[in-house]
Chains A and B, each alone.
Chain A
Amino acid sequence: MTDLILQALFSGVLIGSVYALVALGLALAFGAMRIINLAHGELVLLAAYMAYLVESRTGLDPYAAIPLALVVVVGLSYVLFQLVDRIREHRELNSLILTFAVGIILTNAILLVFASDVRSTSSPFLQDALSIGPVYGMNGEIIAFCVSLVLMGMLWWWLKKSWYGRAVRAVSSNRNAATLMGINPRRIETVSFLVAGALASFAGIALYTMSVIQPSVGHALTVKAFIVTVLAGVGSIPGVFLGAILLGVTEALTVTLASSALQELAGMVLFLLVLFFLPNGLFGARARRG
């Protein structure tokens, strides 16, 4: 039983790190603009297909697709921001509808271009097993975990230490006050969307290296990212990471200790419990209390 639980914890941490990577971009845009980008999962998926494209056409490692994914996904994020920025009334509600529609368009565009087949990396190295004591993971998962940690650290540093990062937090906190302090909110929001697009690019490539992709999974990714964002609480980058790990571990332990059929249900129950007892999220509440 100990081996089972250890493997569940390890698998939960690994899958949780990818949930975190997927959720980071959504959390950033949500924190900065109070906009839930319902096309975020599709942006992640698009990056994953860029990895597939590069790997299948050139035989290179999927991570070699980073430049291409950045150009495509960040470019698309910019276009998406331009669309959202044109909304003049009820921006929070109308942006939901707009980004949802963009998500549908992206899903169908991916379907048209890449067909509906199941895709995943063919790299033997990324699929090879790595054992750490009694627990096992794939090289692709370990690399994705490391990428997630590094990006999380970089984003945290950027938000805490850089001028742009502080400006993002200022706009997020009080848009009018930030404007009075000489910050251009529109520029800051543009930067947030572009950074969210860059994060989606890395998330997509990591996803491709350790899981399977199909045109229809974008929506599920958005839902997962949304759950993690709410679990974490708005504005907490470490919270996103810990919330995602908590979700991953809860799901994996449910499979091990109860039934694999209950995995998704366990995640949703966790989500509801946090909403019920800590409406500001696990870390949003703590920050407010602090």
Chain B
Amino acid sequence: MIRNPFAPAGRALALAASLSLAAAPAAFAQDATEITIGAHMPQTGTLARSGQAFTEGMQVALKMCNAASPKFKVKINVIDDESTPAKAVSAVEKLASDGAVAIIGGYGSNIVGPASDASDKLGKVYITAGAVSDELTARGLKTFFRINNNAGYERGIATLISDLKPKSVSILASTKEAPTLLAEGLEKDLKAKGIEVTIHKFDPAITDFKPIINKVKLQDKPDIIMMSAYENDYVGILRAAKVLKPQVKLMVGAWSLATPKMYTEFPDLMNNVVGTSFLPFPVEVKDAEGQKFAELYKQAYNKEIEYLSTLGFVETIVLCEAVVRAAEAGTLSKGGLAAEMRKTDRQTMLGRIQFNDVGDNPNFSLSMGQHRDGKIVLVSPKANATGDIVYPGLPW
């Protein structure tokens, strides 16, 4: 790999002047050969499962991006952020000093926040598909972009629940930032539609959910239990619900629930459970890009594409294309990448991707998928549905 010899200049202001003079020819050489993108992803720690899936999607996206633009060879340098904010910030600084032209962010708003701040200070474009907090876009950073957001998840879940017209809903929400934000947004949405909502926030360290489910069963008596949480919480909640059998009609969750993996691992807990999704299973990808992604992913990892790997794929393909456009225009080393990112307007497996003034994708919205005997049927919104919802429908 040919690296810009002046890339470490970001560490010292004294080199800034010489960098501005030297960067143009160096960058030209870089554009003509290899371009490096940096990524900090949790490969270890509590978020390792998500980070590994993202990384798989990223690698396939890179392969497809490079095949489409033979003039440039884009590489990704991935650093494990160990699921911690401090390590993520260090990773961004290291990646930037190693010559990365942009950074692909990790997972979790509390990690992406400081990491994208560091990236902004270094003048590097930062893209993420793993942080949905509204605070991230409220900062107004000119280098920050993301393809998914809390509003999209909220819209998908609220549409489903509103269509089912329940009298009351109990929301069990992890106290982590994203689940709390989603729960509070849903509470507001659903209450405005006349649905009674009770939120039970829980510490992420909880493993026994029976006391909470018992409260829901005996006090709330809702029609629907909504879980704003993560995979390990879903298993604990569903297991406790299976033991206590509250008189509800549906169990609904958010991300990483309506996935083939969850059904494979916990078939007795998942049937009829609903979660956010964008693809049915068995995978039916309609567009050519999605089909190619699914094919290459299967070749590389011997499994079907899933939610997290697709997020990693989409963010990478969007960034890679913008990098190539900026390189072709000769603006890559002159701050042109952020401008190219703002010009993005393309269809992806997640729908249309555009970025507004604060780098958010206003078009992001998800469907809802229901586990059905090993398959995932899209049940909401009606425009994307591949089948009718089983309601009432419970795993027990």
List chain A positions with a Cβ less than 8 A from chain B: 3-4, 7-8, 11, 14-15, 107-108, 111, 115-120, 122, 124, 127, 129, 136-138, 211-212, 214-216, 220, 252, 255-256, 259-265
Q: B236 at interface (Cβ–Cβ under 8 A)?
A: yes
Contact A261 B214 (CB under 8 A): no
Partner of A136, one of B83, B207, B210: B210
Contact B266 A255 (CB under 8 A): no
* Distance A214 CA – B184 CA, assembled complex (angstroms): 28
B234 nearest in chain A by CB position: A118
Residues of B within 8 A of A138 (CB): 239, 243
Q: B261 at interface (Cβ–Cβ under 8 A)?
A: yes
Q: B70 at interface (Cβ–Cβ under 8 A)?
A: no
A117-B261, A129-B243, A137-B243 known; A15-B207 Cβ under 8 A: yes
* Distance A118 CA – B245 CA, assembled complex (angstroms): 23
A117-B49, A136-B210, A215-B48 known; A255-B215 Cβ under 8 A: yes
Top-10 shortest CB links A-B:
A116-B48, A116-B49, A260-B202, A255-B211, A261-B201, A129-B243, A216-B46, A264-B203, A7-B214, A211-B207
* Distance A180 CA – B291 CA, assembled complex (angstroms): 77
Partner of A122, one of B210, B218, B266: B266
For residue B201, give the distance in angstroms from its CB to the closest CB of chain A.
4
Contact mask for chain B residues 209-252; partner A; CB cutoff 8 A; 1 contact, 0 none: 01110110011000000000001100110010011110000000
Residues of B within 8 A of A120 (CB): 235, 239, 265-266
Residues of A within 8 A of B266 (CB): 120, 122
* Distance A107 CA – B146 CA, assembled complex (angstroms): 31
Residues of B within 8 A of A137 (CB): 210, 243
* Distance A265 CA – B261 CA, assembled complex (angstroms): 33
Tell me if A's interface is mostly helix, strand, loop or mixed. helix
Contact A129 B235 (CB under 8 A): no
A212-B235, A252-B208 known; A261-B49 Cβ under 8 A: no
Contact A260 B201 (CB under 8 A): yes
Partner of B211, one of A7, A108, A117: A7
Residues of B within 8 A of A127 (CB): 239, 242-243, 268
Residues of A within 8 A of B267 (CB): 122
Partner of A264, one of B205, B208, B268: B205
For residue B55, give the distance in angstroms from its CB to the closest CB of chain A.
11
Q: B175 at interface (Cβ–Cβ under 8 A)?
A: yes
CB neighbors of A among B191-210 (8 A)? 200-203, 205-208, 210
Q: B44 at interface (Cβ–Cβ under 8 A)?
A: yes
* Distance A220 CA – B201 CA, assembled complex (angstroms): 20
* Distance A186 CA – B200 CA, assembled complex (angstroms): 51
Contact B265 A263 (CB under 8 A): no
* Distance A107 CA – B48 CA, assembled complex (angstroms): 12
Contact A3 B218 (CB under 8 A): yes
